[in-house]
Amino acid sequence: MTVHSTVAAEILAALQAERERPLGQREIKAGDQLLGAFAVWVEATRDLAQGSRSPTDGWMLDRLASEVASWPDGPLKTLTESFLSECAAAIRERNRQMWLEGRRTGGNFRGEGLQESQAGPTATHDTVWSLVSFFESSANARSALERAKPWADWAIEDAPHWHSKWAAIRARHPIDPTLPPDVDDATTRIAAAVRHAHAYFDAAQRSPNTVRPNLLYYGCLALARALGAATFKDIAKTHGLKAEGSAVRVFRKGEFADLHDVLCTLPEIYAGASNAGRAIEFNTLLSAVDPLRPAIVRVHGPNWEWLGKAMANNINERRWLDDMAGHRVSTHAMAVDLMVLFYLSHWSRYEPVAWDAVLRGEKTGEAHIYVTFMDYVSLHFPLQTANYLMGVNNVFGGTMSQERVKQVVSDTLGKAFGL
């Protein structure tokens, strides 16, 4: 809606004329403060017309609206109220456009701005899964759809913008929480994915490190599918990743892209890839897993060259990665975890002799890094998935008795879903 500065000037002139009338004949108390406010709005409307931020904005608008409400009915009051209403609409639209621009440049990252969830001393396989397994019921999974809706809305709203940059980007079809067929299908897929993930994580806990990466990868992939199923109708059937030499290649379509889009609003990491995929060194990915840095430094020292190829910020979920062509792209911490697991899984499946040699530590001590990562991701990935499906935060931390852990889990579920 266009706001004309000429209207503000007209109102200002009328108020100035009112002020010049004898006191007994004035209908409006047009003092210096009121005149000054409208003088500011003559300039402010020019700022609004250009879409820029004005120092007046909402707070002064509210004060003016309150003042105008006390005026006697008449043409000036009608004109002024209409003008202020247009200003309010222009501010809302300006703010929406600024929000859109921020989302498309800086990005939104799921879980950002909250206290980071950590697998603390009381987080064990059993305690974490006592929380995650809530979603093994399709009836319970219904609550996750509303939590995921903003991510679906953003993907649809931003689709034309990204399609103008990368024509091959995949179209998304969001879940509609008001349509029973959509809800039934989505909740069935969420519950099935979580049950499959639980079985994989159970097996990984009992298995040696020789095969543990494969079980953890498919467990995390199932949880990624649960997040995707809560958001979009169409989920890919291929990984969208490829292990090649010392790198992981990211492709435009696949399950990785699906996970990325429910965690981060910046699709360049996959959408901007060539037909051959975007190649990122495995060591770059390792260095982007922030909790791994102490283990990396213990094995390679603080000056390990790959530590400069990625940036991890432990106050949020953003990760910046330099690909092998020298381009810097961003993604979510959980997406990095999945890429690292994919590479380790491929290594353990297709090069078992080489993988066993690394685990024995005869020539390199890197097994410490890989085992530390598996220990970390086995708790962190399912815990974060539960947090995002529930819309709550860390529930484990500090030393607690098993009875206290059960109470915390119960309280968390009650707070999230009103149980």
Top pLDDT among 54 and 189 is at 189
Task: Give the confidence band of 242 by pLDDT, cuts at 50, 70, 90.
Answer: very high
Query: pLDDT by residue (tens digit) across 364-414?
Result: 899 999 999 999 999 999 999 998 998 876 556 655 556 665 666 566 656
State mean pLDDT over 248-255: 95
Lowest mean pLDDT among 121-130, 136-145, 281-290, 335-344: 121-130
Top pLDDT among 405 and 292 is at 292
Task: Give the confidence band of 76 by pLDDT, cuts at 50, 70, 90.
Answer: confident
- Give the pLDDT score at 304: 87
CB-hemisphere CA count at 13 Å for 139?
Answer: 1
CA dihedral sign of residues 130, 136, 140, 143: positive
Q: Which position has the token pair 């962190």?
A: 380
DSSP letter string over 22-41? -GGG-SS---HHHHHHHHHH
Task: Give the confidence band of 2 by pLDDT, cuts at 50, 70, 90.
Answer: very low
Task: Give the confidence band of 314 by pLDDT, cuts at 50, 70, 90.
Answer: very low
- Give the pLDDT score at 351: 95
What pTM value is reported for the model?
0.80
CB-based contact 208:240 (threshold 8 Å): no
Q: CA 114, CA 320: separation in Å to the nearest integer?
A: 19
CB-hemisphere CA count at 13 Å for 295?
Answer: 19
CA–chain centroid gap for 80, Å, is: 41
Which are the contacts of 323, defined by CB distance < 8 A and separation ≥ 6? 278, 279, 280, 329
Residue 57 has pLDDT above 80, yes or no: no
Residue 234 has pLDDT above 70, yes or no: yes
Compute CA distances 290 → 243, 262, 303, 337, whole Å. 22, 21, 16, 10
Token pair for residue 91?
Answer: 């501010």
Question: What residue segments make up the domains of the chain, in order of their start?
Answer: 5-105, 125-417
Q: CA 237, CA 250: separation in Å to the nearest integer?
A: 15
State mean pLDDT over 187-202: 97
DSSP letter string over 272-305? T--TT-EEEEHHHHHHT-GGGHHHHHHHH-TT-G
Compute CA distances 233 → 29, 236, 315, 325, 348, whole Å. 60, 10, 32, 34, 33
Task: Give the confidence band of 13 by pLDDT, cuts at 50, 70, 90.
Answer: confident
Lowest mean pLDDT among 69-73, 295-299, 396-400: 396-400
CA dihedral sign of residues 199, 202, 207, 209: positive
Q: Which of 134, 144, 128 is nearest to 183 (CA)?
A: 144
CA–chain centroid gap for 239, Å, is: 21
Residue 207 has pLDDT above 90, yes or no: yes
Top pLDDT among 395 and 268 is at 268
Lowest mean pLDDT among 76-85, 225-234, 342-351: 76-85
Three-class DSSP category at 345: helix
Task: Give the confidence band of 415 by pLDDT, cuts at 50, 70, 90.
Answer: low
Q: What percent of the chain has pLDDT over 90?
A: 47
Q: What percent of the chain has pLDDT over 70?
A: 77
Q: What is the mean pLDDT of the chain?
A: 83
Q: Which position has the token pair 């809560």?
A: 230
Q: Which position has the token pair 């008795």?
A: 401
CB-hemisphere CA count at 13 Å for 18?
Answer: 18
Q: CA 98, CA 315: separation in Å to the nearest integer?
A: 24
Task: Give the confidence band of 120 by pLDDT, cuts at 50, 70, 90.
Answer: low
Token pair for residue 239?
Answer: 């990984």
Task: Give the confidence band of 55 by pLDDT, cuts at 50, 70, 90.
Answer: very low
Compute CA distances 132 → 76, 194, 195, 197, 293, whole Å. 61, 8, 10, 10, 27
How many CB atoms are closer than 10 A to CB 296?
22
